Chain A
Amino acid sequence: MMNSLSRKDWMPEAYRKTLVRQMSQHAHSEIVGMLPEGNWITRAPNLRRKAILLAKVQDEGGHGLYLYAAAETLGTSRDEMIEALHSGKAKYSTIFNYPTLTWADIGAIGWLVDGAAIMNQVPLQRTSYGPYARAMVRICKEESFHQRQGYEIMMHLAAGAAEQKRMAQDALNRWWQPSLMMFGPPDDQSPNTEQSMRWRIKRDTNDALRQKFVDITVPQAEAIGLTVPDPELKWNEARGSYDFGAVDWEEFKAVVKGQGPVAKERMAARVKAWEEGAWVRDAARAHAAKRAAAKQAAE
């Protein structure tokens, strides 16, 4: 018996649903994540930084597309996913609902936000669904330049004039907590973690990854003379890890509910791009149909 490509290997319906939710959420985060950084492309301090930022934002667009394509193999359509994003039904990472106020924010995002994303994503290269795992392999390969360019921006600012260093510290102060939130709620309050671990969709718990991120990032801040904004941060010899202060989960919950400082702006920008692109999509489809008809007539 022959089959179209859309006929898929059998999988439990709840597993499929969880995958679609996680993959589309992930794709949306990549796409919405283009906005805070896109905001600074025209204002990058020099041509080198501008070219780098353009390439990074383009990569994030690519990441969104890999993931949408991978999610589509599960039988959901691109339009369905985009509609879910625009209607507010689908979530995306809360981090992108914070504004990018200064150039140092571009450094902080690359260093911390992409850094946290990498930490979340590396284990997903071994996730149980093949197309998702393969998309993650590509993404992880591309992410490491994102983090390094961000850290380099912070390094230069921190070694620059007093005003530049102050700007770098201010960006770290504002992005630290939201970055810790990127790992999701604490394990005992994360409704999906246990099932997702059992299905091997998720490979590590939120708290374990958060701890790893803190342990890796604190020395990086110290190395360039910046201070992680947490009075409770302290090396714990016995654990071989840093103890750190509680994350403000009330703020996290509010941002998840769409109360982030620029949540409305972000969605408005996405919807505007989608609606203003409608005529292009229609025109391209009409053009292709006309050419196909002409070709058929000529044969």
Chain B
Amino acid sequence: MSDPSQEWPLWEVFVRGKGGLSHRHVGSVHAADAQMALAHARDTYTRRMEGVSLWVLPSAEITASDPGEADALFAPAEDKVYRHPTFYTIPDHIKHI
């Protein structure tokens, strides 16, 4: 019974709150296949009109960056301040810029 391979696989659930918004991760469900994952996602995460669209994705299919390498991955952006508009000094009397 505790053999994890006997469990229905895990699926990550994404809900689109309303038209125009992107899908957002809300949690996960266990299901034997995609269709059942959608049904479970609907019952579990959208009982109160939380969304207009659902995505389900096998959790095993997700590739994640290594939390231990977050610095190496994301720090380089920090010294490229010239990517931000506030880096540039424009005199006050210049408008609409």
Contact = CB atoms under 8 A, between A and B. Distances in A.
Given A3-B65, A10-B67, A288 B32 contact: yes
B7 A65 contact: no
B13 to A, nearest CB: 9
Residues of A contacting B: mostly: helix
A292 B58 CA distance: 14
A99 B49 CA distance: 34
Contacts, number: 79
Contacts of A285: 6, 8, 32
A266 B83 CA distance: 61
Interface in B22-76: 27-30, 32-33, 36, 43-45, 47-48, 59-60, 62-69
A14 B69 CA distance: 24
A80 interface: yes
A65 B30 CA distance: 10
A62 B64 contact: no
A7 B27 CA distance: 17
A2 B65 contact: yes
A95 interface: no
Given A62-B47, A65-B44, A79 B65 contact: no
B4 interface: yes
B47 A69 contact: no
B60 A4 contact: yes
Contacts of B36: 284, 288
A247 to B, nearest CB: 35
B66 A2 contact: yes
B65 A78 contact: no
A220 B62 CA distance: 49
A78 B62 contact: no
Given A1-B66, A5-B62, A62-B44, A284 B2 contact: no
Contacts of A7: 64, 66-67
A58 B1 CA distance: 26
A49 interface: no
Ranked nearest first, the 10 interchain pairs of A and B with the lowest CB-CB distance are A284-B32, A288-B33, A288-B32, A9-B67, A77-B4, A5-B62, A69-B28, A3-B66, A5-B64, A69-B27
11 contacts: A1-B69, A3-B63, A3-B65, A10-B68, A59-B47, A65-B44, A77-B4, A79-B2, A142-B47, A284-B33, A288-B36
Given A2-B63, A8-B67, A65-B44, 13 more contacts: A1-B66, A4-B62, A69-B29, A72-B28, A77-B4, A79-B3, A79-B4, A79-B6, A80-B4, A135-B27, A284-B33, A285-B8, A288-B36
